[in-house]
């Protein structure tokens, strides 16, 4: 299965990163708290531009020139990958939906994987997640994670 994992990943940001600290991540993300990377350089560049626009918009008294976009390339060795506990989602199927719901509902790191690979929800999949949550709630009679 690991033959499908790309060994070059990208992270686009406006922050200087000297080392990865998953504790700095946000708690209720698709795969839990962590350091998110993309297999696509284009996707990472898009995220970098989005973060840049957000930080400029939220800044008080600073100018655009006070912020810098940064694209990081991370190379993973096959030897390292063989030591990690990896969860791989090839598609956004019901197993993926259940995993994303669990991570968003519980927050933090509700699983034991070192690396989770798969699609992440965007604006288009947010509606799909909402419908799936609503249907599960009706069937199971439980309230899953709700946005504040």
CB-count burial class (<10 Å; 0-12, 13-18, 19+) for 34: buried
For residue 107 the two structure tokens come to 């927050």
Tell me, what's the pLDDT at 91?
87
pTM over 0.85: no
Shortest CA distance to 14 belongs to which of 64, 57, 48?
48
**Tens-digit pLDDT profile for residues 57-108:** 888 877 777 788 999 999 988 898 889 999 999 888 889 988 998 998 898 8
Cα separation, 67 vs 119, whole angstroms:
29
């Amino acid at each position: 299965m690991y033959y499908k994992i790309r060994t070059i990943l990208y992270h686009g940001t406006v922050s200087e990163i000297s080392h990865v600290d998953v504790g700095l991540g946000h708690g209720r993300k698709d795969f839990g708290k962590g350091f998110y990377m993309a297999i696509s350089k284009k996707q990472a560049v898009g995220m970098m531009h989005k973060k840049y626009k957000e930080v400029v918009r939220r800044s008080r008294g600073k100018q655009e020139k006070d912020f810098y976009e940064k694209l990081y390339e991370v190379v993973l060795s096959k030897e390292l990958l063989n030591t990690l506990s990896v969860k791989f989602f090839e598609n956004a199927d019901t197993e993926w939906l259940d995993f994303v719901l669990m991570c968003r509902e519980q927050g933090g790191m509700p699983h034991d994987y070192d690396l989770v690979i798969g699609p992440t929800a965007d604006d288009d999949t947010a509606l799909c997640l909402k419908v799936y949550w609503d249907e599960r709630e009706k069937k199971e009679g439980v309230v899953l994670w709700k946005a504040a």
